Structure 1
Amino acid sequence: MKTLLTQYCKFTIFFSCILFLCFHSPIFAQSDLSAFTATGRGVATTFTTDYQTIGINPANLGFRRSFRDPLLTIGFFEQSSSFFSGALSRGDIIKTVLNPSDFNFSLEEKARAVPKLQNRALAASIDFMIVGVGLSIPKVGGFAFSMRDKIQFFTRLNPTVTEIAFLGHNASYFPEVELSNGRIIPNSPNLPDRIREQVVGGGFYNNPQNAKSYGEILNDSRLSAAWYREYNFSYGTKIIDQYNLAVHIGGGVKLLRGIALIDLLAENNQLVQDNISLSPTFGLTFGEDPDKPTAPGFINPEVGASRFRKYLAATPVGTGVGFDMGINFVIKKNLYFGAALTNIGSINWTGNAYKLSNGRLEQIEGSGLNTYNIFAASEENIRFGGDKSLFQLNGVNEIRTQLPSTLRIGGSYEYFRTFHIGFDVIVPLNDVSGNFNEVWYGIGGDWRVNRWFKFSMGFNTGGNQGNKVNIPMGITYNGSRRWYEMGIATRDISSYVASNFAGGTTVSFASGFLRFKINEIRLRKAR
């Protein structure tokens, strides 16, 4: 048993981290369905309880439907990860995550990737909970605590940026290129591959004044990433208790440690957001002498530290505080309506904080990505720091950003604890890294087949996936006396059947195998 638990813990941590390391599509939230019991139905505002309701609706902590409800719930190593692409197939996504070295694009394949991915959304969400505890005390309310990492990414790049990413110095943006023999020639679109392969000195503007600014190059593009480590505390209680009406309220506070922030947005040829702050784990440096800063570059990881350990123990570079608050109405014991404000607060990034220069992109080196996985690229493919890099950064003392705040509204109806069906609407309240681009809509529910198994299913759309329709599905197992719970789920079962179904492909997996419940009956028997 110990060996199985050890293997499970390693697998869930590895799966969550590997998605972050591999995907080249920085992300936005996916309705915060981090709990495996909620992922399969796609709605949560009036469903979740105990520590799983943290970040969704803290008022649900006041729920106690019967004396059989657990007094204490403890869970370990629950994870939910997903990746969405409006262009890539299921096979491409899986290979990008697990075997990026299988890709080795030729110049022709790189050129074909540009129209395939330009102006197409890519999004991902990774949530890894290390530990969660929920305590329900009759006539007092419910308390909950959890510690987890949340990683959110989103990107939508215009044709110019997409072409530079894949073709590098061969991109049509650069009017001249330098060959290996030192010869400088015009960058004609009709150059044969044998000439393109000799380009080693980079692409550049002979007259830098003719080069475009970063605002012009990134126009109508969004590149966003946020990685937080959260320590959450929540409380909920019942304030009205009548036969036909019960009202619950709750609130929560979260202490945040920022690991990574990337927020680049350009509109009307101007940079609107230009913030970057990365943990020293990522190796971004201005050089060894702080009094003589060089162009920002990336150094190799520390010797002796594996990539897995390095990212799991990433050094924070930001601190912040966030708040949640919610309310829930129960009418005639089986009709629920709830609303919650989540992630109200801010975070200060004070370590390795940078602003993207609003200068001009005059030249770069690198032949461009030969895989969809940017983290598998080398400096020969594309340079993100140093001279002739894609980005030029300026160090700053501090960056203050708002948290991705949302308004959640939901309702549901429960029929004899056998069927529970409802809806959710999630409205983004600001436009910051980690938040939705659009309003998210979902319907779904649970069917308790018997006392051991619960089946979940739903439909949702919006958020950062445009018109894509997801079909979440999951199954949960309860021990014979409901002291133990485990389950698996996916945010879109249709993507495992057909790629690009209903507007795109979502590859996701959620799991929890270490969730334990203790109720009042068992405590009495123990005494």
Structure 2
Amino acid sequence: MSCRTVASFISLFLATTAAVQAQTELGNFSNVARGGVATTFVTDFQAIGINPANLGRNDNARVAFTIGEVGVGVGSQALTRTQLRKFIEDSGEELNMAQKQEMARTFTSDNVLNLNVDATPVAFSVVLPMVGSFAFSSRQRVTTHLGLNKNTAELLWLGKDAPIYPANFNPATAPLVSEVLEGTSIQMAAYNEYNLAYGRQVLSLPAFVLSVGAGYRYIQGVGVVDVRSKDGQLEAYSALSPQFNVDYGSVVNNPSFNLQKDTDKLLQPVGRGHGYDVGIAAEVGKKLRLGASVTDIGQMTWEGNLLTANDQKLKRLRSNGADSYEFFSELADIFASGTDSLFQYKPAQERKASLPTKFRAGAGIRVGSRLEVGADVTMPLNDVAGNIPAAFYGVALDVKPLSWIRLSTGVTSGAGYGMGIPVGFAIATKVYELGFGTRDLRGLLSDERPYASVAMGTLRFKIGTVK
């Protein structure tokens, strides 16, 4: 495997960020405008992946569809906005030893970098009387999380001069890599999904309506890199599509290596999986809404171009560490199976990994036809590549100064991004909707803990109403 595997992976994602100029964690501009608060707000196809039970609500359209909603976000709890821009733009500025030491201190954080890319080429929903509501969507997701402990940050920026290496360093008595990297997390994953969801009412009383729903998704794994050390346990593996153009060298001759060769396919997966969502939603009176769901239940099976690494004693690096803001190549040299890697990767036939399962709960209140307020909490139920690194909390509101204009805002916290103030604008008539939103206005303007995000869509339609 080329020593630039991880670099290629990150660089591709950052190139996508620069090209799309958008952000979303949940894949549509309405949810981003509320900062991800969505459990009681979403209807129609928007309920996919959030709470499929909302498909059973009375305010769904008979038919609804959207084309080409997309978003991207990149942020850091450790870097300044100026530093983050330099890393993305890669000015080529060479750093001296003092600057590299400063970078090592800055990168000592469990939230150095978070990146999310989410695109929905097409989604639609339809209500069938006496049967229930069905929804379908095609979706592409990319998630990246980078957190480094002090040792890892110093190895990245100082290389062989890192303090972990004493003057009399002896490889025979060196600590295990798992000890050196304790608390480090380098996680990147890319998926292509096909979602199907169903919801319907199961109880309808004058002051109480109850709906249930379920969803299924078939997932194609485009690529994954997962390197983590926690409580003395090391996990390190990767599986990347041939589109990443990785040079695996002599490992292709190993009979245990399931080589996936490049084809004419636009997207060639190296993993497959099945995911499930379940949810429940209630309407109490005409104002109060409640909802809860568990999403992304299931697992992925990675089998193409799969490489894994076991724990071993720390070896001394040969490089001087990253010499410029383009640190991705050095990151790859250390954690991929290049000539200066800390690991010895070996081919494997199959690796199963749980999907990023989450629990979501929310409550909302409608005040007339012009104002709706909601609160959400989302908890990660496992620690895998692609999941949010911490719990998310948020309060949001939609207000309509005119019947066809919707303004959204709120306050959110967690999920690796700190506090956020989302804002959004939409033109929303009974049949057509367009809009845009940013997850955190503060993150766009502040130099500390920057978070740049925006999501947009222009082709969302609704036809008919459910009585």
- TM bucket (normalised to shorter chain) is 0.7 to 0.9
- Whether 2:428 is the aligned partner of 1:478: answer yes
Separation of aligned partners in 1, 2:91 and 2:15: 11
Give matches, 1:129-148, under 5 Å: 129-148=120-139
Aligned length: 447
Q: Secondary structure at the match of 1:265?
A: strand
- Whether 2:215 is the aligned partner of 1:252: answer yes
Please state how far the C-alpha of 1:21 moved relative to its aligned partner.
3.3
One-letter identity of the residue aligned with 1:321: H
Please state how far the C-alpha of 1:155 moved relative to its aligned partner.
1.9
Show the counterpart of 2:53: 59
- Whether 2:453 is the aligned partner of 1:508: answer yes
Please state how far the C-alpha of 1:78 moved relative to its aligned partner.
1.0
One-letter identity of the residue aligned with 2:462: K
Does structure 2 retain, via aligned residues, the 8 Å contact 1:365–1:383? no
Q: Deviations over 1:50-85 (max 9, x none)?
A: 2211100001111223xxx53222212211221221
Separation of aligned partners in 1, 2:142 and 2:336: 21
Residues 288 and 19 from structure 1, CA distance in 2 versus in 1: closer, same or farther, beyond 3 angstroms? Answer: closer
Separation of aligned partners in 2, 1:240 and 1:380: 55
Q: Deviations over 1:133-158 (max 9, x none)?
A: 12123443221111111111212111
Query: Bigger shift: 456-465 or 380-389?
Result: 380-389
Q: Secondary structure at the match of 1:290?
A: helix
Please state how far the C-alpha of 1:32 moved relative to its aligned partner.
4.5
Does structure 2 retain, via aligned residues, the 8 Å contact 1:488–1:510? yes
Show the counterpart of 2:83: 92
* TM-score scaled by length of structure 2: 0.87
Show the counterpart of 2:33: 40
Query: Which of 224, 227, 234 is equivalent to 2:187?
Result: 224
Q: Deviations over 1:292-339 (max 9, x none)?
A: 599x9xxxx99xx9xxxx9x9442111110000111000112210001
Does structure 2 retain, via aligned residues, the 8 Å contact 1:367–1:380? no
Show the counterpart of 1:291: 253
Q: Deviations over 1:81-107 (max 9, x none)?
A: 21221121223324433x223544333
Does structure 2 retain, via aligned residues, the 8 Å contact 1:54–1:234? yes
* RMSD of aligned residue pairs (Cα, Å): 3.0
Does structure 1 retain, via aligned residues, the 8 Å contact 2:420–2:439? yes
Q: Secondary structure at the match of 2:402?
A: coil
Show the counterpart of 2:310: 357
Does structure 2 retain, via aligned residues, the 8 Å contact 1:149–1:230? yes
Give matches, 1:421-432, under 5 Å: 421-432=373-384
Show the counterpart of 1:405: 357
Separation of aligned partners in 2, 1:102 and 1:162: 20
Show the counterpart of 1:169: 160
Show the counterpart of 2:272: 319
Query: Which of 230, 236, 243 is equivalent to 1:281?
Result: 243
Show the counterpart of 1:113: 103
Residues 134 and 87 from structure 1, CA distance in 2 versus in 1: closer, same or farther, beyond 3 angstroms? Answer: same
Q: Which has the higher contact order (CA 8 A, sep 6+)?
A: 2
Please state how far the C-alpha of 1:266 moved relative to its aligned partner.
1.5
One-letter identity of the residue aligned with 1:485: E
Residues 270 and 326 from structure 1, CA distance in 2 versus in 1: closer, same or farther, beyond 3 angstroms? Answer: closer
Q: Secondary structure at the match of 1:39?
A: helix
Residues 239 and 268 from structure 1, CA distance in 2 versus in 1: closer, same or farther, beyond 3 angstroms? Answer: closer
Show the counterpart of 1:5: none
* TM-score scaled by length of structure 1: 0.78
Separation of aligned partners in 1, 2:15 and 2:342: 20
Please state how far the C-alpha of 1:22 moved relative to its aligned partner.
5.4
Separation of aligned partners in 2, 1:260 and 1:330: 41
- Whether 2:446 is the aligned partner of 1:498: answer yes
Please state how far the C-alpha of 1:371 moved relative to its aligned partner.
4.2
Separation of aligned partners in 2, 1:400 and 1:446: 41
Separation of aligned partners in 2, 1:380 and 1:215: 18
Identity %: 32
One-letter identity of the residue aligned with 1:326: G
Residues 384 and 169 from structure 1, CA distance in 2 versus in 1: closer, same or farther, beyond 3 angstroms? Answer: farther
Please state how far the C-alpha of 1:511 moved relative to its aligned partner.
1.0
One-letter identity of the residue aligned with 2:44: D
Query: Which of 447, 452, 456 is equivalent to 2:404?
Result: 452
- Structure number with bigger Rg: 1
Separation of aligned partners in 2, 1:23 and 1:103: 23
Does structure 1 retain, via aligned residues, the 8 Å contact 2:34–2:396? yes
Please state how far the C-alpha of 1:372 moved relative to its aligned partner.
4.3
Residues 425 and 464 from structure 1, CA distance in 2 versus in 1: closer, same or farther, beyond 3 angstroms? Answer: same
